[in-house]
A and B are shown apart, each in its own frame.
Chain A
Amino acid sequence: MAERKLLPRDNDEGSLLSKLGTDSPKPRVKFGGMFCNVEGAFENKTLNFDSYNSIQTEPRPSGMGLIFVPHCSVSSLCLQADRLIIKGGKVVNDDQSFYADIYVEDGIIKQIGENLIVPGGVKTVDAYGHMVIPGGIDVNTSLQAPQLGMCPADDFYHGTRAALAGGTTMIIDHVVPEPGASLLGAYDQWRDLGDRRSCCDYSLHMDITRWHDGLFEELESLVKDKGVNSFLIFMSYKDKFQSSDSQMYEMFSIIRDLGAIAQVHAENGDIIDEEQKRLLELGITGPEGHVLCHPEEVETEAVYRAITIAKQANCPLYITKVMSKSAADVIAKARKKGMVVYGEPITASLGTDGSHHWSKNWAKAAAFVMSPPINPDPSTPEYLSSLLSCGDLQVTASGNSTFSTAQKAVGKDNFTLIPEGTNGIEERLAVVWEKAVATGKMDENEFVAVTSTNAAKLFNLYPRKGRIAVGSDADIVIWNPKETRTLSATTHTLTVEINIFEGMEVRGAPVVVISQGKIVLEDGKLDVTEGSGRFVPRKAYPDYVYKRIKARSRMADARGVPRGNYDGPVHDVISMTKSVPATPTSRMPQFPGKGPLGPARNLHQSGFTLSGTQIDDHIPRRSAQRIVAPPGGRTNITTLS
């Protein structure tokens, strides 16, 4: 334990996960025993590993301003969870499957192989006949994002509890600051809630709800010091969150320079706003109006535009909540043209369709309301799962944000007021299995990829998360592909009254879920600890995303034509004040305070191509660093540093 605590300090200087998961030249040894170091990025975390030691009497420290919630079950859990051996299962990673036992200690996978030599008194988990997969990572939840001032019915505690019940052992939640509020303030608020309430590891995306130039420092600080490497930008929610194209371009440029990932909520807010007015005028006030005013095209258009802007800014783009066939097609096409763009279908778009918006039962119809809406085309789930299988879409998430029927009823006379969001955090793995694996579209390795590994790679959690390998976090799910169950609000873990997958039969279910080396689900019993979830910081420049971006920045260098000066006659311009400055100059007055920043950002752009020194400077400045030796050793991809 002591050794472990020292580690972070020892290796503080090096680059962390940014070099992991790269295509290492050395072949991977079969059971992945290449990295033995345990990452130690948790100094600023509340976890006290000592408390999980054999001496369990030591209480958890309540430093870091966190409230320690005593749980009577903590000590017994720790006793069990400290050391585990999972026997007889088929270990499924995204690249291969093999039979092996797994030995877990201190929340870390210590050994993988057959006939492991383990200390006595270790709890044995029987996985015969089942698959042992890396715990799912749900990269899109909004468990605390308020709408109209209402907090979702399922907060961090209920949400992560449901996640664990469904086999998801990590979530990445969206921090949604009030427009105009400080991002860092919102971050602290979410961190506080997450640390107190979360039952599984979590990380945070930052939503940029209103862009202004002053946010640059906050973004920089979030990326460099706070472990946030992804930012969501809204193209919808006019007059609330929506950003203009210019702002998006500016944000994309900054996000790229910081090495983060731009996420986009892609819907054309202007059109939606107009259509909402029109529908209300027509007297349509029920939830079906939501679908009617968020037509598929509006999503598709925004996806197309987002990709265009990201291409111009050479920024990696991640489309959250791909809900329609045509939007998915646009992503697939853009990928074929070489854009660095990723698409995320969610449980709802994979598992159900939007015909329920027309349900006679208002409460049921309202439960389906989310944005972009669940598509009324019943063939959408099939189509999206096909694209997921062939790699055109990469990640599945849930978009979980549940509101009780009473909360949804705020919009009972006006669909635009219905809080948006559905459940899905718990059902995600099962729905993907049912729709893609059980139907033969996808194999078990791809299943692991889309539910866990790809997300870990994209958001720079790999190989700590998303892989069963020595040194990885012991977030493990024992998956029974044969079990069949029916999804229902009566049996689900969330508190919300309506489950949008009500009555859906799914094959595949988690039998045992291990989070941080502790068994949280066994024999159908959920045993979670509120506040046990750790914040997992993520480094900038995920290799999976940024290797191409870096190469392109070097290549994309426009050059002028050297010419002699034009010395012919020049027409006299009649001074017309109103139309003189055509485009570039006239932008200045409209963004006051923009002046000094424009040139500064351009320096970044040129620095990006010409020299790495600027970006180099950031790295030693980092305070908290985790060092993990990647499996297969470090690759020699030169990062920008």
Chain B
Amino acid sequence: MSDCRRQWNREDELPVYLAGPITTGPNQRKSYGMFTSAEGACDSTTKDYDNCAAGRRGTRTPRSFSRDRLLDYAENPVPEAASEASEVQGCGSLVNSPGESEDGRQGVATACPSGGQCQSSQEQGKNGLLIRGGRVVNDDRSEFADVYVEHGLIKDVGVNLTVPDDVRVLEANGAMVIPGGIDVNTCLLKPHLGCPPVDDFFLGTKAALAGGTTMIIDHVVPQPGDSLLEAFERWQASADRKCCCDYSLHVDLPNWNAGVQDELEVLVQEKGINSFQVYMAYKDMFQMTDSQLYEAFSFLKDLGAVVMVHAENGDLIAQEQSKILSMGITGPEGHPLSRPEELEAEAVFRAITLGNRVNCPVYITKVMSKTAADTITQARRKGSVVFGEPITASLATDGSHYWSKNWAKAAAYVTSPPLSPDPTTPDHLHSLLACGDLQVVGSAHCAYSTSQKAIGKDNFTLIPEGTNGVEERMGFVWDKAVAMGKMDENQFVAVTSTNSAKIFNLYPRKGRIAVGSDADIVIWDPDRTKTITSKIQQSAVEYNIFEGMECRGGPVAVVSQGRVVYEEGEGLQVQQGSGRFIPRQAFPDHVYQRIRTRNKVKGRQGVTRGMYDGPVYDVPAMPKYITPSPSAKTSPTSHQPPPIRNLHQSNFSLSGAQLDDNVPRRSGHRIVAPPGGRSNITSLG
């Protein structure tokens, strides 16, 4: 086994690791080459194309800017020297990670079960992989075609492909061949009161692969006051060591101040992050005031990032929580009671309003209730650039379980916003997903063990928030939407993969089966039935919130980075640390095209008038007052700008001094060149 792994590493994994995203030359394009040479999305990253083209055995060059730094980590499983001994050791040490011990129980082999299998995977890397006899389903059309994969990329799609003789052949037998799922919302390292979830990047991505998801985008959650860059690097280091599938990262903004802005610029321009989450909830921790949100939105828009919003009214939640606790309700049912649906809908409405005002795209994470979804729908009808992401939990189950007599079970459902107790919610959300009013399915996988959840056994506000769902995500969308006839297979691909790739600027590298795309492919069997239970799941969490639910549809085989990582009957063969960080460029077209145009056409103009020359009333001086911010930890600087005089005020001619004293001083504002250039406002000055 060790031999096999070593071989694997040396022969196959190396090139896969280093593979550039889309390196097909024009001559390689066949009938499906709708997009040409590697789109510039990855230009700024340091992909070493030479390495993946031919010199697979060349010295390992940094595949990305962060690689060098990563290599400093002692426990890096693939050190620079690539010596066999150290590699084996590295892998071995990682096998001792908490999740690994459960492999036996789950009956899934992390390593190759047999030499033959290893051989085949070895060949597959070298000589390619042919997926034969399937129906290729993209978000726009389905057709019968074979897919040929080489070097982790799709080389050819079509019928009667000419391929080398010794390629591995994966028979699809008429099943669907779909782009691997992209789970845009996971929290595999988000600490709660200092302890990380039980599903780390290894277990989480393993579960993702088992469910047909070949890429995750995880949330970097810095604690308030922490440096975003440091947190980002911590997450990236951990993920590079443990991830079994490609990943990317969102960065959450715990607060808003000037220092954050510089870090954001670095993250967007150098680190390949184009999405940031802001919080309207978690009062006194993450919550931002509307003013801060406005500033954050403006700034992020200028950077070309996607603004993700955790939409709940934190002020009211805090009030309700203290009320409910004072009523003596301490169990998990207090969680939904203190976070009623209206508070989610209200915050969604406010976030959209802010987005409209700033002309900034808004992405609502975790749409959990009907009213919130309806609010998004209505806003989209009015033309707002807003996207909604229901999650596995809200699509498959409801919040009635919070009232379970079993504390551990009830606590397992605790997530924010909470699952709506209304049992018709999943249906409604699926309908909106099917008609395009909601766009993306995430999982918000953030699994805490029962003993971690039990931190809040006497106070529901301390229960760590998060449910499982990364593994079940694709299956439930199929079961509840496609198998019910609400959605067709193309829309299924769109909501589970393509839309998120477009929104987060991964398209067409991810989210599509086409020549040049990454070979993240799932062979999907619509008729497979499976009963969800914690006994056969990959996640380490004890309580699966979908326990006992039947689910039609599931992956027969999963190909990640051109490698078969799951095949029915063979089990999972994942490689810890094989996941690559996928940098994402700013200004995703899918999101920003409209924003740019609106910027251009929405110029505001003043009215040119003669000077008013009538009498002017004298104004006495007035004291200044500062509006209390909803969140106490707001830095005072944001409210008390330095006394820089605004020109508009200081050129006031009559009794100017007096007037100026009354007015709250306006801070000198950063002037950022908007995308598309400044609009032509003639100054009235």
* A interface residues (Cβ-Cβ under 8 A, vs B): 148-150, 179-180, 210, 238-240, 242-247, 249-250, 268-271, 273-275, 277-286, 288-289, 292, 295, 297-298, 300-301, 304-305, 308-309, 311-312, 358-363, 365, 404-407, 409-410, 412-414, 416-417, 558-561, 563-566, 568-571, 573-574, 576, 578-580, 582-584, 586-587, 589-590, 598-599, 602, 605-606
A284 and B194 within 8 A (CB) = no
A584 and B318 within 8 A (CB) = yes
The answer to whether residues A284 and B606 also contact, given A407-B617, A412-B616 and a CB cut-off of 8 A, is yes
- Report B617-639 CB contacts with A as 1/0, cut-off 8 Å: 10111101111111010000001
Q: A405 to B614, alpha carbons, bound, how many Å?
A: 8
The answer to whether residues A285 and B627 also contact, given A270-B294, A560-B333, A582-B462 and a CB cut-off of 8 A, is no
Q: A301 to B615, alpha carbons, bound, how many Å?
A: 38
Specify which of B223, B285, B653, B681 is in contact with A413 (CB 8 Å cutoff): B653
Q: A140 to B126, alpha carbons, bound, how many Å?
A: 80
Stretch binding the partner chain, chosen from B353-361, B533-541, B572-580: B353-361
Specify which of A240, A298, A573, A576 is in contact with B353 (CB 8 Å cutoff): A298
Stretch binding the partner chain, chosen from B52-60, B429-437, B561-569, B664-672: B664-672
The answer to whether residues A239 and B328 also contact, given A558-B337, A566-B457, A583-B461 and a CB cut-off of 8 A, is no
Question: Which residues of chain B are near A560, meaning CB under 8 Å?
Answer: 327-331, 333-334
B49 within 8 A of A: no
Q: With both chains docked as a complex, state the minimum distance between the C-beta of A267 and any C-beta of chain B, in angstroms.
A: 11
B410 within 8 A of A: yes
B323, B616, B617, B627 pick with most chain A CB within 10 angstroms: B627
Closest B residue by C-beta to A605? B323
Question: Which residues of chain B are near A570, meaning CB under 8 Å?
Answer: 451, 454-455, 457
B648 and A280 within 8 A (CB) = yes
B606 and A583 within 8 A (CB) = no
Q: With both chains docked as a complex, state the minimum distance between the C-beta of A348 and any C-beta of chain B, in angstroms.
A: 20
Question: Which residues of chain A are near B346, meaning CB under 8 Å?
Answer: 304-305, 308
What 4 A-B pairs come out closest when comparing CB atoms? A270-B290, A283-B683, A590-B632, A245-B315
Q: With both chains docked as a complex, state the minimum distance between the C-beta of B344 and any C-beta of chain A, in angstroms.
A: 10
- Which residues of B311-368 are within 8 A (CB) of A? 313-331, 333-334, 337, 340, 342-343, 345-346, 349-350, 353-354, 356-357
Question: Which residues of chain B are near A405, meaning CB under 8 Å?
Answer: 614-615
B141 within 8 A of A: no
The answer to whether residues A149 and B622 also contact, given A288-B607, A582-B285 and a CB cut-off of 8 A, is yes
A312 and B607 within 8 A (CB) = no
Closest A residue by C-beta to B194? A574
Give the total of B residues in contact with A, Cβ under 8 Å.
Answer: 111
- Which residues of B275-326 are within 8 A (CB) of A? 282-285, 289-291, 293-295, 298, 313-326
Specify which of B327, B407, B616, B652 is in contact with A563 (CB 8 Å cutoff): B407
B353 and A584 within 8 A (CB) = no
A409 and B455 within 8 A (CB) = no
B659 within 8 A of A: yes
Specify which of A285, A410, A571 is in contact with B648 (CB 8 Å cutoff): A285
Q: With both chains docked as a complex, state the minimum distance between the C-beta of B203 and any C-beta of chain A, in angstroms.
A: 17
B340 and A312 within 8 A (CB) = yes
Q: A281 to B325, alpha carbons, bound, how many Å?
A: 47
A283 and B606 within 8 A (CB) = yes
A245 and B313 within 8 A (CB) = yes
A300 and B353 within 8 A (CB) = yes
Question: Which residues of chain B are near A587, meaning CB under 8 Å?
Answer: 283-284, 318, 322, 632
Q: With both chains docked as a complex, state the minimum distance between the C-beta of A281 and any C-beta of chain B, in angstroms.
A: 6
B627 and A586 within 8 A (CB) = no
B290 and A409 within 8 A (CB) = no
Specify which of A242, A404, A414, A590 is in contact with B649 (CB 8 Å cutoff): A414
Q: A363 to B611, alpha carbons, bound, how many Å?
A: 10
B325, B345, B403, B607 pick with most chain A CB within 10 angstroms: B607
Can you report 16 residue pairs joining A to B where beta carbons are below 8 Å apart? Answer: A239-B627, A243-B627, A250-B319, A282-B604, A286-B609, A288-B606, A305-B346, A305-B349, A417-B659, A560-B333, A561-B331, A566-B457, A569-B454, A579-B193, A579-B285, A590-B284
Q: A564 to B462, alpha carbons, bound, how many Å?
A: 19
B671 and A271 within 8 A (CB) = no
Closest A residue by C-beta to B621? A149
- A245-B315, A297-B356, A573-B193 are known; give 10 further A-B pairs, CB within 8 A: A150-B619, A240-B625, A285-B684, A406-B614, A409-B617, A416-B663, A565-B457, A576-B194, A580-B193, A582-B462
B291 and A274 within 8 A (CB) = yes
A280 and B630 within 8 A (CB) = no
B321 and A150 within 8 A (CB) = no
A242 and B627 within 8 A (CB) = yes
Q: A598 to B619, alpha carbons, bound, how many Å?
A: 40
Q: A488 to B174, alpha carbons, bound, how many Å?
A: 80
Specify which of A246, A412, A576, A589 is in contact with B315 (CB 8 Å cutoff): A246
Question: Which residues of chain B are near A275, meaning CB under 8 Å?
Answer: 357
Q: A283 to B681, alpha carbons, bound, how many Å?
A: 8
Specify which of A298, A308, A564 is in contact with B345 (CB 8 Å cutoff): A308
A583 and B284 within 8 A (CB) = yes
Closest A residue by C-beta to B410? A561
Q: With both chains docked as a complex, state the minimum distance between the C-beta of A609 and any C-beta of chain B, in angstroms.
A: 10
B42 within 8 A of A: no
B284 and A358 within 8 A (CB) = no
Specify which of A273, A289, A311, A580 is in contact with B291 (CB 8 Å cutoff): A273
Q: A573 to B320, alpha carbons, bound, how many Å?
A: 25
Q: A291 to B277, alpha carbons, bound, how many Å?
A: 31
Q: A301 to B384, alpha carbons, bound, how many Å?
A: 14
Q: A269 to B293, alpha carbons, bound, how many Å?
A: 13
Q: A409 to B193, alpha carbons, bound, how many Å?
A: 56
Question: Which residues of chain B are near A247, meaning CB under 8 Å?
Answer: 628
B321 and A286 within 8 A (CB) = no
Specify which of B223, B225, B319, B326 is in contact with A312 (CB 8 Å cutoff): B319
B666 and A277 within 8 A (CB) = yes
B408 within 8 A of A: yes
Specify which of B223, B356, B628, B669 is in contact with A277 (CB 8 Å cutoff): B669
Question: Which residues of chain B are near A583, meaning CB under 8 Å?
Answer: 282-285, 314, 317-318, 321, 461
B357 and A599 within 8 A (CB) = no
Q: A311 to B8, alpha carbons, bound, how many Å?
A: 61
- Report B84-119 CB contacts with A as 1/0, cut-off 8 Å: 000000000000000000000000000000000000
B315 and A244 within 8 A (CB) = yes
B617 and A410 within 8 A (CB) = yes
Question: Which residues of chain B are near A566, meaning CB under 8 Å?
Answer: 407-408, 454, 457
Closest B residue by C-beta to A409? B616
B607 and A413 within 8 A (CB) = no
Q: With both chains docked as a complex, state the minimum distance between the C-beta of A385 and any C-beta of chain B, in angstroms.
A: 23
Q: A602 to B462, alpha carbons, bound, how many Å?
A: 22
Q: A288 to B425, alpha carbons, bound, how many Å?
A: 44
B627 and A410 within 8 A (CB) = no
Specify which of A149, A358, A568, A580 is in contact with B451 (CB 8 Å cutoff): A568
Closest B residue by C-beta to A576? B194
Q: A305 to B351, alpha carbons, bound, how many Å?
A: 11
B319 and A246 within 8 A (CB) = yes
Question: Which residues of chain B are near A605, meaning CB under 8 Å?
Answer: 323
Closest B residue by C-beta to A603? B326
Closest A residue by C-beta to B624? A239
Question: Which residues of chain A are near B319, meaning CB under 8 Å?
Answer: 246, 249-250, 312
B224 within 8 A of A: yes
B449 within 8 A of A: yes
Question: Which residues of chain A are near B664, meaning CB under 8 Å?
Answer: 239
B620 and A149 within 8 A (CB) = yes
